[in-house]
Copies of this chain bind each other. A is one copy, B any other.
């Protein structure tokens, strides 16, 4: 409804990394397994997050991915601007190239406040907080693996 699969994977992975000891690289393979997500595809996504400075990567033994210094405080908005593109929140809901208070589509003024709620939420949620929530054990970062579902 809102996020591409790529963004979903990115957020899940970042939260997972944020739950792990900072400075200790996490393997792509482990993340993919934990999230039940295709590893080769996830690798591309993590690479991209590295290029944009959100993650650090290390090759060879003891390699893997860490959140870059300070990036624990990153907001979901920050992440999504990397994965969905910089004008993620700037597009008209009906797809008009130009849609503003002055040149509005018929949904514009109803959509605007709702969109602002979404933006606030995304600006408010940080990787740190989401990781903390997960660490309480009350929330799920991925579907239960098939092995956990009794037949």
Complex CA gap A12/B107 in Å reads 10
Does residue A106 face the partner (Cβ distance < 8 Å to B)? yes
Does residue A130 face the partner (Cβ distance < 8 Å to B)? yes
Interface of A is mostly: loop
Complex CA gap A11/B93 in Å reads 10
Please encode chain A, from 7 to 20, with 1 for each CB lying within 8 Å of some chain B CB and 0 for all others. 01001100100000
**Which one of B84, B99, B106, B114 lies within 8 Å of A130 (CB-CB)?**
B106
Complex CA gap A76/B5 in Å reads 25
**Interface pair A106/B143, CB less than 8 Å apart:** no
Instruction: List, in ascending order, chain B residues with CB within 8 A of A144's CB.
Output: 98
Does residue A97 face the partner (Cβ distance < 8 Å to B)? yes
This chain's copy number in the assembly = 2
Interface size class of A (residues with CB under 8 A): 35 or more
| Given known A96-B140, A143-B98, contact A106–B2 (CB-CB < 8 A) | no
| Given known A107-B125, A117-B114, contact A3–B140 (CB-CB < 8 A) | no
List residues of A (88-135) whose CB comes within 8 Å of B's CBs.
88-89, 91, 93-99, 103-108, 110-111, 114-115, 117-118, 121, 124-125, 130, 133-134
* 3 tightest A-B CB contacts, nearest first: A8-B95, A106-B139, A106-B133
